[in-house]
Structure 1
Amino acid sequence: MLQLVSGNTQRPAPSLVKLINTVPEAHRLNHPIDALVIIGRQLERIIEEDNLPAAVSMGTLRFSLFRIHQERIARMAKVCQSVRVYGEADIAPPNIPGIEFIALPEGSPLAREWFFSFDSPGFWGALITQLIPNRDQGSVRRYLFEGALSADERIVTRIHLLLSLLAQRPAPHVVERDVFANSVRWARFAFELAAHSEAERLNLMAALGEVPILREVLALYHADEPQQSFERMMPQALHELGRLDVRGAVLYKVTNNTLHPHIWHNTDGQPLPVTPGQGISGQAFQQRTPVLSLLSTDDPEYSLLHGAHSVVAVPILVNDAVWGVLSVGQLERDPYSSPAAAGVISVAALLEQVAAATPTPSNWMLPETASPPASFGTSRLVDPTPPPPPVMPKAASPAPPVPTPAVPPQPSTSSASAFGLPAWMQGATAAPPPPPAAPVVQPAEPVAEDIDWDEAQRRLAGALVAFDRRMAEYIWQEMIAKYTSEEVCTKLLMPVQVAVGEGWHRGEVSVAAEHFTSRFTESKMIQMLHAIPDKPGAPTAVIGCVQGEMHELGAMMLGLFLAWEGFRVIYLGQNVPNTTLAETIRQLRPQVIGLSATTVESAHNLTEAGQIITRIEPPRPQFIFGGSAFYERPDLKARIHGQFLEGDVRLIARDLAAKHLKV
C-alpha cells in the first residue's frame, strides 16, 4: 500500500552531511551520480542476496529520480525490515509494497543530499553526499556529489534517529551487532567495487577511504592479472595489518595436508610447518572456521608472535578447500575484545574473494619455495626478557584456563542465499564441525536472598579482571533477575567499575583488563537504557560526549539516571559534532542538553558548544556539562556558557527532574 508522508513542517529537514564533518578530506568522495549508483548497487546486492533484515533510508533528491532505480529497490525491499525514500515530491511516487516515501520541503538541505543508509545486525553503513554544481566560466557543466562512505555504527544510528524524527516514525534499533559478519561483508563489498568494470574510470576505490587497509591491499589488484595480483596482495595485506598494532602475522599455505609458512611479518624467526589441530592455526585449518583464543605456552605461536597474548586464525577457502590460514597475534588477552580481530577477518575474507575470482586457481598457486619480500619473513630484534604479566588485585579470581576455541556468531541458516560469504558463515550448506562443548559455568557460591553487595562486587570484579566473560555474564544475570536495574547499577556495576579503575591507577590491573571492564559496563548500561519504555510527552534530555570525546561512561550513566527519573532520553554517544548541535536542538526541542568531557582537548570544544546553544532562538534547553577534564583544568568552567555539574549522578538527575518534570 502506498505510504506518502510529508516531513514534519514544524521542524526543518536535517542535513546529514554535517554528520561526516570529521571525516578527513583524503577520505571524501567527489564523484558524479553514476559512481554513487554503482556504490549503492553493490551495497544493495549484499543486503538482497544475504536476505538481511536491514532498515534502509535513502535520499534521491526528487521522487522522479527514484523511478530510475525502482525495480532494484523493490527487490531489495522484500527482505528489508523497512525502506524509506526521501525527496522532493515532484511527481506522485509509485505504489511499492514495503517502501515508504517522505516528501521534503522544496529547497531544503536534505533535498540536495543523495544518501543510502542501512542498518542490520550483520551489516551496516552509510553513503552520504551533497549536490555540488561543477562550474566552468560561470556555467554549470555537470553536477558532482561530495561526501563519504562510512561503516561507523554511531553515524548510522544518528542518521536513522534524525530521519525518524522527520518522518515521525520510531527509529530502528539494532540490539546486538555481529562485528565479524560486518567485516566480511565490507571486504566483499570492497572487492566487488575494485573488480567493477568502471572502477578505474570513476575512481571507485576512493569510496574505501574509511576502510584504509582494504583500500591499500586492493590498490594492487587488477582483474586481468589475478595470479600476479594475488602474489602482490599477500605481503601487502600482512604489512597493512601493522596499522592495527598486531603482534606478528603469518600466512600459511596448505601443502600435503600441512600448513607451510608462506609469508610472515614481524615474527621471532621463521615459522615452522603446522599439522591439523596443532596450535591455534592448526585448529582453524582442521575446523575450517576462525579460531580466536588465548595463547598457551604449548602453542607453536607462543614463541613465534612476541608480545601476543591471544591469536586470531582465519582459514582461507578456495573451491570448498582450505587454501591456507592467516594467523595474527594480538596484545589483548580476550581475543574478542581486540580491535584487530575484525580487521584480520576482513583481510582474510578479501584474500579469499580474490582467490575465488580466479578461473583456474590450481594453475597459479604459488610455489612452496616462494621467497617473501625483503621486509617480510625476517626475524626482528627483541628484548630477550619478556614483560612481566599484569598483577591482579588480591580480590581477583585466578586466571582462567585457556578457553575452548570459539566460533564467531553465524547468520541464520534460513537465509535464502549465502553467496559471497566464507564457508564458516554459510549456514547449513557448509556447516563446520561443531566446537567442543564449553564447560558449564557454576556460581562460586549460592547467593542468599539478602545479598552481600560487597561479595557480589568482589565476584564480578574478579571475573572481569580475569577476562572470564561467562562468569561475569552469569553474575550479572543472577543479580538482575532478583533486583531492580537501578539497584544493580548503583550497588554492583558502578562500584566494580570504580574499583577496577583505581586498581589500574595503582598498577594492580592491566590496561586490557580495565578496558574489558569498561566495555562490559557500557554494554550493560546501554541494555538498561534501551529497556526503559519511551515516555511520550515527558521532558526530553539529549545526552552525549562533546566533539572529540570518546569516553562515554559518565554521559551514559547520567542518561540512564535521567531516564529512571522520568525523562525521555536521547543518547547520542561519543564525539557529537558541534556542527550538529543546533539542528539537533531544533529537531528535538529538548528541555536539557548535557555534554561530557574527560580530556582537556575535548573540553575546549565545550566553549563553542555553549556559544552555539546560546545563539539558538528560545525556548533554549538548559545546557549542562561536566567530566574529569575540569578537575585538571578548573579554569575552563568559566569559559563555557552552561551549568557545570559534579557529584553524585543520582542527585544531579533528581534535581533536574524536580526542575523540569511536572508535578
Structure 2
Amino acid sequence: MSNYSIKDLEQLSGIKAHTLRIWEQRYNLLKPKRTETNIRFYDDEDLKLILNVALLNDNGFKISKIAKMNFEDMKTEVLKLTDRSFAYDDQIHSLIIAMVELDEDRFEKIISTNILKIGFEMSMLNIIYPFLSKIGVLWQTGSIHPGQEHFISNLVRQKLIVAIDGQLYTGGGKKFLLFLPEGELHEISLLFSCYLLKSSGHKVIYLGQNTPREDLNSVYSVHKPDYLVTVITTSPSGPQVQDYLDYLSKKFQESEILVSGYQIIGQDLEIPANVHVMHYLKDIKEYLLSLTHVA
C-alpha cells in the first residue's frame, strides 16, 4: 500500500488541494490518516475514491450528489462513463484507478479499446504517455510502490513490443542506434521512440536497457549510425550526466545524438553541439518530420 500527500492527490486527480480540503470538511469525503509525527497522509483507498469523484464531477455530477453515493454505486457510474467516453482525461483517470487496483483486465481493456478507436500512436501520445508522466514524479519520490510501477511498465511494454514487431523495414531512411546507459532500466520512452522511427521507415538498431560503453562502441563501429537515441531517467545522475553527454559527443562525433529523460530535461547542463535535447515524445515525432520523408 502506498501513502500519498494531498499534493499527490492533486497531481493525480487534477483537483486543487484547497478544493479537496473543502470537500473533506463539508462532505466528509476523505478521512486522512496521520503518521506518528502527526503528518497527514492518504492511502490507496482514498486515491481511488478521489479519482472516481474527479471523473464524475468532470462529467457533470454535482459534488453534493456524489458525496451521497456509496463506493460501489460510484464505481458503477465511473465504469459506465469510461466505457462510452473517449475524452483523454477520462481515460487517464481510468488507467490510474486500474493501476492502484492492479486490475490487469481493466487496464488491458482501456488501452486496447483506445488503440482500436484512435490508433496506437495517438493512444500513446495522448493517453498512455501523459498517464506515465502524471505518475512519474510519484515513482521518483516513492509515493507509488515498486509493484505498481512494474505492473504498469510490463503491460505498456508488451503493447509497445507488439506494435514494433508490426513495423517492417523495407530499406531507405536514416540509421538510428537506440540504447540506455549502464544502470538505466526505464525503457518505455526508448521503445516508443523505436516504434516512431520504424513506422516512419527508418532503420533501427535497438540495444535496450543497461548498455555498457564497450558494447555501445563495438556496435557503433559496425553500423556507423546517423543518429544515437538515449533516455536518462535515473542513471547516470547528478554531475555524472554532464560527463556522460560529453563522452557521447566526443566518442561519436560523426553522429547526431538525441537525448531525453528526467536527468536531462530542465537540468543545468552544457549541451554539446551534436547533442539535441528532446523534451517530449512529440519532439521526436516533429524531428522525424524534419528529416527526408520516407514512403
TM-score of the superposed pair, with normalisation by structure 2: 0.64
Whether the 8 Å contact between 1:500 and 1:514 is mirrored in structure 2 is: no
Give per-residue Cα distances to partners, 1:217-269, cap 9 Å, x unaligned: xxxxxxxxxxxxxxxxxxxxxxxxxxxxxxxxxxxxxxxxxxxxxxxxxxxxx
- 2:249 counterpart of 1:610: yes
Equivalent residue for 1:545?
Answer: 180
Q: Which amino acid aligns with 1:395?
A: L
- 2:280 counterpart of 1:648: yes
Q: Which amino acid aligns with 2:285?
A: A
Equivalent residue for 2:149?
Answer: 514
Match of 1:550, SS? coil
Whether the 8 Å contact between 1:467 and 1:513 is mirrored in structure 2 is: yes
Q: Give the deviation of 1:466 after TM superposition.
A: 1.2
Q: Which amino acid aligns with 2:247?
A: E
Q: Give the deviation of 1:533 after TM superposition.
A: 2.1
Superposition map of 1:276-287 within 5 A: none
Whether the 8 Å contact between 2:125 and 2:282 is mirrored in structure 1 is: no
Whether the 8 Å contact between 2:174 and 2:226 is mirrored in structure 1 is: yes
Residue ranges of structure 2 left out of the alignment (5+ in a row)? 3-40, 54-77
- 2:135 counterpart of 1:496: no
- 2:102 counterpart of 1:467: yes
2-side partners of 1:574 and 1:612: how far apart? Answer: 20
Match of 2:118, SS? coil
**Structure 1 residues 561 and 457, CA, compared in 2 at 3 Å: closer, same or farther?**
same
Give per-residue Cα distances to partners, 1:631-660, cap 9 Å, x unaligned: 47523x34x563131323223332244234
The correspondence for 1:565, drawn from 193, 196, 200, is 200
Q: Give the deviation of 1:467 after TM superposition.
A: 0.8
- 2:290 counterpart of 1:658: yes
2-side partners of 1:529 and 1:628: how far apart? Answer: 24
Whether the 8 Å contact between 1:501 and 1:514 is mirrored in structure 2 is: no
The structure with the greater share of residues assigned to helix is 2
**Structure 1 residues 389 and 452, CA, compared in 2 at 3 Å: closer, same or farther?**
closer
Match of 1:444, SS? helix
1-side partners of 2:229 and 2:248: how far apart? Answer: 10
1-side partners of 2:133 and 2:294: how far apart? Answer: 34
TM-score of the superposed pair, with normalisation by structure 1: 0.31
Give per-residue Cα distances to partners, 1:420-451, cap 9 Å, x unaligned: xxxxxxxxxxxxxxxxxxxxxxx933733x72
- 2:51 counterpart of 1:395: yes
Whether the 8 Å contact between 1:465 and 1:517 is mirrored in structure 2 is: no
Give per-residue Cα distances to partners, 1:66-108, cap 9 Å, x unaligned: xxxxxxxxxxxxxxxxxxxxxxxxxxxxxxxxxxxxxxxxxxx
Match of 2:149, SS? helix
Superposition map of 1:245-260 within 5 A: none
Q: Which has the higher contact order (CA 8 A, sep 6+)?
A: 2
Superposition map of 1:47-58 within 5 A: none
Q: Give the deviation of 1:390 after TM superposition.
A: 4.2
Q: Give the deviation of 1:573 after TM superposition.
A: 0.9
2-side partners of 1:624 and 1:530: how far apart? Answer: 23
Q: Give the deviation of 1:494 after TM superposition.
A: 1.0
**Structure 1 residues 647 and 470, CA, compared in 2 at 3 Å: closer, same or farther?**
same
Whether the 8 Å contact between 1:554 and 1:596 is mirrored in structure 2 is: yes
**Structure 1 residues 508 and 610, CA, compared in 2 at 3 Å: closer, same or farther?**
closer
Count residues in correspondence. 226
1-side partners of 2:266 and 2:125: how far apart? Answer: 26
Whether the 8 Å contact between 1:543 and 1:559 is mirrored in structure 2 is: yes
**Structure 1 residues 447 and 624, CA, compared in 2 at 3 Å: closer, same or farther?**
same
Q: Give the deviation of 1:612 after TM superposition.
A: 2.1
2-side partners of 1:494 and 1:568: how far apart? Answer: 24
Q: Which amino acid aligns with 2:51?
A: A
